[in-house]
């Protein structure tokens, strides 16, 4: 079974600082990778996803993530954070299965707090 590790539980940054949140997964085969964000009082929203192709994926609101297969990693980055990026960020993986959906396995999340 696959598992996901997010090593940063709580990150505090000042506005305009650069962000990198770590995500590592354990599974030897092909995976799909996702980052979801949960803003305070709101539901989980998809930030970006990787299925195949270019390992550098761009998402909404200036976020990007890089898939490094050899390191089993899918780290989330943003060059300059804003106060409105304050939220909980979840990395998730699933194992692609043709013709049917498969479960998402989530990390425990990283709480990002951006200070003005």
Nearer to other proteins, 29 or 116 (CB): 29
* Cβ count within 10 A of residue 51: 12
Is the Cβ of residue 28 or residue 99 nearer to other proteins in the bound state?
A: 99
Among 39, 51, 56, 71, binds other proteins (CB under 8 A): 51
Residue in 67, 90, 93, 114 binding other proteins, rule: CB under 8 A: 90
| Residue 20 DSSP SS3 | strand
Residue 98 carries which DSSP code? T
Which residues make Cβ contacts (< 8 Å) with residue 21, sequence separation at least 6? Answer: 6, 8, 11, 75, 76, 77, 89, 91, 110, 112
Q: Could you give the 3-state DSSP secondary structure of residue 71?
A: helix
Contact between 4 and other proteins by CB under 8 A: the answer reads yes
Which residue in the set 85, 105, 112, 114 belongs to the binding site for other proteins (CB under 8 A)?
105
In angstroms, give the least distance from the CB of 82 to other proteins. Answer: 23
Which residues form the interface with other proteins (CB under 8 A)? 4, 32, 34, 36, 42-46, 49, 51, 90, 92, 96-109
């Amino acid at each position: 079974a696959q598992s996901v590790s997010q090593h940063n539980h709580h990150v505090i940054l000042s506005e305009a600082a650069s962000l990198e949140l770590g995500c590592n997964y354990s599974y030897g085969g092909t995976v799909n990778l996702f980052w979801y964000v949960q803003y305070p009082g709101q539901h989980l929203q998809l930030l970006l996803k990787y299925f195949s192709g270019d390992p550098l994926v761009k998402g909404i609101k200036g976020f990007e993530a890089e898939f490094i297969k050899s390191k089993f990693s899918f780290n989330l980055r943003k060059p300059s954070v804003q106060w409105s990026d304050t939220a909980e960020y979840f990395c998730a993986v699933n194992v692609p299965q043709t013709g049917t959906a498969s479960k998402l396995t989530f990390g425990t999340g990283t709480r990002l707090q951006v200070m003005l």
